[in-house]
A and B are shown apart, each in its own frame.
Chain A
């Protein structure tokens, strides 16, 4: 593991064995994250972006889940191999998560103060008074005014945006080195989303964290990420620095996705370019490129073999047998 890397995942395979068969959710993905770096994982529902993170955090229930193969090295330890006790020390303390729906992630019958101080007491061994003091500081940090009074309130007394702030305060309580945010703004309105994005960007600087931001929104990615992984049907199909991805996308899926988006800053010039069909059925073991059925550049080889991630530029990799730039197969 290179010294500049905080997290290094190789060949991760996650499957779910259900009544209908086996769901091939994540199919051998590899990626890494440097200290202090922010990456975005982008893809549509069912592409495996959340399952990847849940696998790394060991939050997949086994069975029906199965991590069939892979390694997730974090500061020299393989998160997929260490004991549950060791994992509990890392989860929430060194790697924290924020989820999409702040209402279902908070316990409705406990006060905000109680829920905020739990991690502090469990992980950092603080007493009641100390953890209360720290909880107030955390609420201040995420921009909740009148923190002392708010500690006694229950989740239903907060709006969606405020709840997400509480979730972020909770995630940050032990000063983690990695924050995994799984669609944290999807349930929120754009004006509130802008507040939360700004908050995370500010806190990332202040606390010197690495961030993995999972989203389906290519607009939010452009705002927050330094580097982007594009996922499709359990594979990483493209990986690039954020500017390169938008200006010079090399995978037909990324290309098509960007072309399918209307833009708030542009006049309409034509119909939207839709992507025909739908993502593949994950109950079928993957063979060939998963995007082949919807791809405009498809040729025979695509159906037979899954292309590996090929270097197409500096820090830019694409998994495609076709070179969009030269217009020829590789």
Chain B
């Protein structure tokens, strides 16, 4: 996964295929007779593929729908419209049994290592749960052995197997979360801001662990994050979301070196660079105002009210999703 390697020439079948995915959360009013009065349009028609062994980054500001997208793809939220196919399973139509297979093959690592582990369970119970639920290892002794092995794999001492989550630091807890996700031997993992709650010196440890595991086990990641520097480091391709839609998608260096969408340009220019001379020398695009409400997203291009280069037609026409150069997709009238 070094920069020297170009994109694959012959593409295998994608492991994950998302087409026009929509997730709306209805807003209901009335106590006895509930009426639907609107919807939070959290994800409003996104499409992308993820190849086996690839890491796709998904970035955007809070409320842009990136977390909802990740959860909907895994079928944790019912899909409003569109289709998702993971390792041959059609998620929106999946029967119970198929769904169970999917849950084994597709796992998730969560942002908050404090809230995502049951405080009353031991590490052994937490990491062993997927094995128990999916009846992968019904024998308790075999399960304990497997948990041992998983702990070693993520860099935790198996001596700590009977400890409780509160006895661990944030970084170690995130390792427990990773071990749990690995327990059912998945092919695809949605990493939802897995490092944003951690300190810088610990972030690097967890990122390196995720990369090592990917090399060792051939995992495919959807890496959801708001830290654009880390996304450039870890991801092969990056999708930029704004208000429920993807506005740009490209290989990482292409995206960071030649961003085409004015939102991507503003987002990248807002990231502080830990180098004062370089930081002072560069031109910044400071966006005005806040992200509008996803209940009533702006007409036409959703970014037009904050866009520095918006033209009158931007507020009327929804921009087409176009491939500008090979593998570089963007939705903007002015590109």
Contact surface of A with B, Cβ cutoff 8 Å: 44-45, 159, 161-162, 189-195, 197-198, 216-223, 242-243, 246, 256-258, 260-265, 267-269, 271-276, 278, 294
Q: Is the CB of B200 within 8 A of A191?
A: no
B binding-site residues for A, Cβ under 8 Å: 2-3, 61-62, 169, 171-172, 199-205, 207-208, 211, 226, 228-230, 232-234, 252-253, 256, 266-279, 284, 286-288, 290
Given contacts A216-B200, A264-B268, A268-B232, 6 further A-B contacts (CB under 8 A): A192-B61, A192-B290, A194-B270, A262-B229, A268-B252, A272-B208
Given contacts A242-B276, A243-B277, A260-B204, contact A190 B290 (CB under 8 A): no
Across the interface, do A262 and B230 meet the contact criterion of CB distance under 8 Å? Answer: yes
Which one of B171, B211, B253, B276 contacts A267 once the chains associate, using CB atoms below 8 Å?
B253
- Indicate the member of B169, B204, B232 with the most A CB atoms within 10 Å: B204
**Min CB gap A232→B, angstroms:** 10
Chain A residues, Cβ within 8 Å of B279: 219, 222-223
- Provide a sorted-by-A list of 23 A–B residue pairs whose CB atoms are within 8 angstroms: A161-B290, A189-B226, A190-B228, A193-B270, A195-B288, A198-B286, A217-B272, A218-B200, A222-B274, A257-B201, A260-B200, A260-B204, A262-B233, A262-B234, A263-B274, A264-B232, A264-B256, A264-B268, A265-B278, A269-B3, A271-B208, A272-B208, A278-B169
Q: Residues of B contacting A193 with CB < 8 Å?
A: 270, 272
Q: Name, among A45, A219, A261, A265, the residue most crowded by chain B CB atoms within 10 Å (CB to CB).
A: A265
Complex partner residue of A264 from B199, B207, B228, B288, CB under 8 angstroms = B228
CB contacts (< 8 Å) of A246 on chain B: these are 274-277
Identify B272's interface contact among A222, A257, A262, CB under 8 A.
A222
In the complex, the answer to whether A272 meets B226 with C-beta atoms within 8 Å is: no
Residue numbers in A under 8 Å from B230 (CB-CB): 262
CB neighbours (8 Å) of A162 from chain B are 290
Whole-angstrom CA separation of A44 from B203 in the bound complex: 11
State whether A258 and B270 are in contact (beta carbons under 8 Å apart), knowing that A44-B199, A275-B201, A278-B171 are contacts in the complex. Answer: no
Q: Is the CB of B3 within 8 A of A267?
A: yes
Q: Do B226 and A271 have beta carbons less than 8 Å apart?
A: no
The answer to whether B271 touches A190, judged by C-beta atoms less than 8 angstroms apart, is yes
CB distance from A159 to the nearest CB of B (A): 4
Report A250 CB to chain B, min CB distance, Å: 16
Complex formed: what's the CA distance from A275 to B205 in Å?
7
Query: 9 tightest A-B contacts by CB?
Result: A219-B272, A274-B204, A262-B233, A44-B199, A275-B201, A189-B61, A272-B204, A194-B270, A260-B204
CA distance A36 to B233 in the complex (A): 38
The reply to whether B200 and A44 form a contact with Cβ atoms under 8 Å apart is: yes
Complex: A219 Cα to B271 Cα, angstroms: 8
* Closest chain B residue to A197, Cβ basis: B272
Is B61 touching A222 in the complex (CB atoms < 8 A)? Answer: no
* B201 & A194 in contact (Cβ 8 Å cutoff): no
- Shortest C-beta distance, B186 to chain A (Å), equals 23
Q: CA A257 – CA B274 in complex, angstroms? A: 11
CB distance from A155 to the nearest CB of B (A): 15
Residues of A within 8 A of B204 (CB): 260, 272-275
Contact in complex: A195, B233 (CB < 8 Å)? no
User: Are B275 and A222 in contact, CB atoms less than 8 angstroms apart?
Assistant: yes
Which of the residues B205, B229, B277 comes within 8 Å of A261, measured between beta carbons?
A: B229
